[in-house]
Amino acid sequence: MSLDTLPRASRNTHRRERPPGRRWRSRLDVKAMPYALVSPYFLLFAAFGLFPLAFTLYYSLYDYDLTGTTEWAGLGNYTALLGDDDFWRATVNTVAMFLIATVPQMFLALFLANALNKHMRFRLPIRMSVLLPLVTSVVAVAVVFTQLFARDWGLVNYLLGLFGVDNTNWRAERVPSWIAIATMVDWRWTGYNAIIFLAGMQTIPRDLYEAASIDGASRRRQFWQITLPMLRPTMIFVVLNSTIGGLTLFSEPMTFYNGNPDGGSQGQFQTVAMFVYKEAFREFDYGYASAAAWLLFLLILIGAAINFLFVRRIGGTR
């Protein structure tokens, strides 16, 4: 993402003489107006971004109970969380679902983008159709997939049954529930990521490929040696986006259990975001929820850092 456009040489323009009042006003316009233009964003961010973040930190240092009494807790909430099996289970669930969803998704999206990058008839409608899942509302996706993954009469079990596989109780067991939820996430986002990869692919100069063909590099080799390394900036964007989205997963697992934040009878698919929601709005333990929210943020930072380092290595042999 480029921050590289430092002030482009501003030309010394010879202005026509203007009355002093107008000149003063136009100098003010040039000097102050830029700040006025960016200030709505920063003012709103202060109100609805900085303020909540700071207060989340503040709340996380207090103990709240149902009656609304507060008591200073210091880092008590954090240490309690680190010893809370439920929190750890939610963290493991979140990370596992994120991995199950994201890893295949990146490969699929890359492959799909590569296929969409070919010359063929009906190119635009084909490209648009892989974005179709994106227009479906999250809750609608989750509802449909919950039905598809139903135990006794779901289509997935029915199809697996044709191959002699016994019915899986997708909602009751841990790994199957992860797979079902990861499928929802992948169905919705793979095409979107493919289109973004495709955008990145189209900025790669064609003559690189031509030179490689002349040197006798196969198509597959060109993909690994040219496309992937040149795609790195796009990949950083996509991976970071998916990391933030994946680690804050909420709607799909919520809907998978009829809008209940427990994430299954044993919490088998409760995510950290659901844990925060449950502690805050069902247990009314604002302090505990806030501490969990900060740990979630920490998790995202760690995930982002790992991904960033990982992506930087892709094709890093150039």
CB nearer to another protein: pick between 73 and 289 = 289
> Rule CB under 8 A: is residue 53 a binding residue for another protein?
yes
Residues 6+ apart with CB under 8 A from 147: 154, 155
Q: Which of residues 134-153 bind another protein (CB under 8 A)?
A: 134-141, 143-145, 147-148, 150, 152-153
Tell me if 217 contacts another protein by CB under 8 A: no
* Footprint (CB under 8 A) of another protein, residues 158-197: 158, 187, 191-192, 195-196
Strands 62-64 and 70-72: antiparallel
Kindly tell me which of 86 and 114 has the beta carbon lying closer to another protein. Answer: 114
Half-sphere exposure of 166 (CA within 13 A, CB side): 1
Applying CB under 8 A, the site for another protein has a residue count of 110
202 Cβ partners below 8 Å, 6+ apart?
117
Tokens representing 113?
């983008």
Of 128, 172, 305, 306, the one binding another protein (CB under 8 A) is 128
- Cβ of residue 100: shortest distance to another protein, in angstroms? 17
List the one residue from 198, 226, 239, 311 that touches another protein (CB under 8 A). 198
Stretch that binds another protein, among 97-105, 168-176, 245-253, 308-316 (CB under 8 A): 245-253
Residue of 70, 175, 218, 233 that binds another protein (CB under 8 A)? 233
Closest CA to 288 of 280, 298, 296: 280
- By CB under 8 A, is residue 309 in contact with another protein? no
